Structure 1
């Protein structure tokens, strides 16, 4: 079982990072769906996928859409986080050149279409990306 606690009756949101080549699996190899079901059963009020490639987050949203709790995601803009070692910093990672604000918004709109209710951005996703997403969502009504 995954430990989840509520400090002073505060809501608990749990975020998982998924394998960039397989958004159905955590980076450690376990099933995202199984992990998400367990934390939902323990009381998590929202389940997120973060710090993963936008394409992997899209796949992960399909997994989370089967749950009975709200879900969402926020992707990073790195080519890969594989070079990241414990204790190192993201300044060693290379940024994607194909993930401008419009491209990021296109990915995130898919998450919204899959039922995600909390969408944002992680490393290398900045205010311009979020503004483009907000504009796209506003246009959808």
Structure 2
């Protein structure tokens, strides 16, 4: 079956759609080395077959959306490791092609979402969980514009503007999206009822409410306990479909480059998420194909 037969936005008007899970943890499970500042981008550059294998694992688990391996691919970061602009552009486009080939080989409809990670991701210092980089909205837009243009040239179904920690960066990204007209979802990373930078969630979600390019809005890479309050805040300011793909409740330590796992598993009240308006549901860091398969086996949680 060749990819998805229609726009993702149309599907979301009728049903919920299952996202994939964390790419980095699946690559690690496959034995890939993710050490160094380039993280999964290094695997994309050196072992693209492993990226394709990770996508395949999620498709076999039932995922209907594959998020590309472009999250941490940035021109400045890759230049520091010897990649010129043409090589980095090629890697961004490769990430889309790898996911598209997997989607085309699937036995069910699969959309390709090109990951646009935050500025903090390419710094590789955990600042995507803090935001407030000291850059203006204009500077952030200038950073994101060439990455988005390169990804769009490869023809993804949608842009996954994800793990955004503050409203300044969201404003910058929405500016670039308006220039392109490309469909996208906007996903914040949040904690304790606010963005990671500490802004009120109603203000954050309201930024996307009036954007015709944004087909869904919500949260990712956050504690599952933070999902429902965030969805409720989003539903209060927008009628757009909502999305949720949290991590497993672990906390990232950028100094040691390790995850601190909670003592007890954090519940995933997916029925409540769906009732609050979530139509794109999946997982982020440390959520693998088994968890995605389990989500897909809950049709009552996935259908309006």
TM-score by length of 1: 0.77
Query: In structure 2, what is the equivalent of residue 74 of structure 1?
Result: 245
Query: In structure 2, what is the equivalent of residue 124 of structure 1?
Result: 286
Q: In the TM superposition, what are the counterparts of 1:11-22 in structure 2 within 5 Å?
A: 11-19=183-191, 22=192
Query: How far 1:75 moved relative to its partner?
Result: 0.6
Q: Which secondary structure state, in structure 2, belongs to the residue aligned with residue 45 of structure 1? A: strand
1:9 counterpart = 2:178: no
1: CA distance, partners of 2:198 / 2:302: 36
- Unaligned runs of at least 5 residues, structure 1: none
Higher helix share: 2
- Unaligned runs of at least 5 residues, structure 2: 1-167
Task: Classify 1:68/1:138 alpha carbon distance in 2 versus 1 (closer, same or farther; 3 Å).
Answer: closer
Query: How far 1:62 moved relative to its partner?
Result: 1.0
Equivalent pairs counted in the alignment come to 129
TM-score by length of 2: 0.38
2: CA distance, partners of 1:42 / 1:139: 28
Runs of 4+ in 1 over 4 A off after TM superposition: 138-141
Larger Rg: 2
Cα RMSD (Å): 2.5
1:31 counterpart = 2:200: yes
2: CA distance, partners of 1:139 / 1:78: 21
